[in-house]
């Protein structure tokens, strides 16, 4: 099997695990809001409250997120596929927030409205994880509103039946 086929095969195998979809937001050193779609979110601990997500080392926003002191993870609802696409396609674009609905939250971190859950975090740990860095955040504030989740499975958005 060629390296390309092996990579695709592994990616397809990973895609068999259905995930929720999040947008992670922070501000860069210059103070501009930045964000990106991520489906690598996970709860880590209740005591102390910790969550994690992973950022690709080749991401155009890699250093902004690994250098950030604070960030917010917003768990998207089934109605927010457009928001997911916006932050997935334009995570590199400094003007993405011009086209997104958002407000300023704790520590001036941009917040996505009408999400099913939000975790405002302080960066606690960074761990090497192959071609990604695992970012662990200490949850400073959280909120949730039960809603249908935006789900990603086999490379596409899905609805829970």
How far is residue 33's CA from residue 108's CA, in Å, rounded to a whole number? Answer: 9
**For the chain, domain boundaries:** 39-153
Fold classification of 39-153 is Pnp Oxidase; Chain A (2.30.110)
**Which of 88, 109, 89, 87 is closest to 100 using CA atoms?**
87
Q: Is the pLDDT of residue 44 over 90?
A: yes
Predicted confidence (pLDDT) per residue in 144-159, tens digit: 998 999 999 998 998 8
Distances (CA, A) of 142 to 9, 48, 65, 69, 108: 37, 13, 19, 17, 15
What does pTM read for this prediction?
0.93
How far is residue 5's CA from residue 3's CA, in Å, rounded to a whole number? Answer: 6
Q: What is the DSSP string of 78-138?
A: GGGHHHHHHHHHSTT-TTGGGSS--EE-GGG-EE-SS-SEEEEEEEEEEEEETTEEEEEEE
Residues 6 or more apart from 58 whose CB is under 8 A from it? 131
pLDDT score of 8: 84
Predicted confidence (pLDDT) per residue in 102-150, tens digit: 999 999 999 999 999 999 999 999 999 999 999 999 999 999 998 999 9
């Amino acid at each position: 099997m060629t390296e390309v086929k092996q990579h695709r095969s592994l990616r397809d195998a990973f895609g068999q695990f259905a995930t929720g979809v999040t947008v992670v937001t922070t501000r860069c050193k210059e103070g501009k809001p930045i964000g990106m779609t991520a489906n690598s979110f996970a709860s880590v601990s209740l005591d102390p409250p910790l969550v994690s997500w992973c950022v690709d080392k080749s991401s155009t926003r890699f250093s902004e997120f690994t250098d950030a002191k604070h960030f917010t993870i917003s768990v998207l609802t089934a109605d927010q596929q457009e928001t997911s696409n916006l932050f997935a396609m334009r995570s590199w674009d400094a003007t993405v927030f011009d086209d997104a609905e958002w407000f300023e939250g704790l520590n001036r971190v941009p917040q996505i409205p009408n999400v099913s859950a939000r975790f405002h975090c302080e960066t606690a740990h960074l761990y090497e994880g192959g071609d990604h860095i695992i970012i662990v955040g200490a949850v400073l504030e959280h909120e949730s509103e039960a809603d249908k989740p935006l789900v990603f499975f086999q490379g596409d958005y899905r609805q829970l039946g």
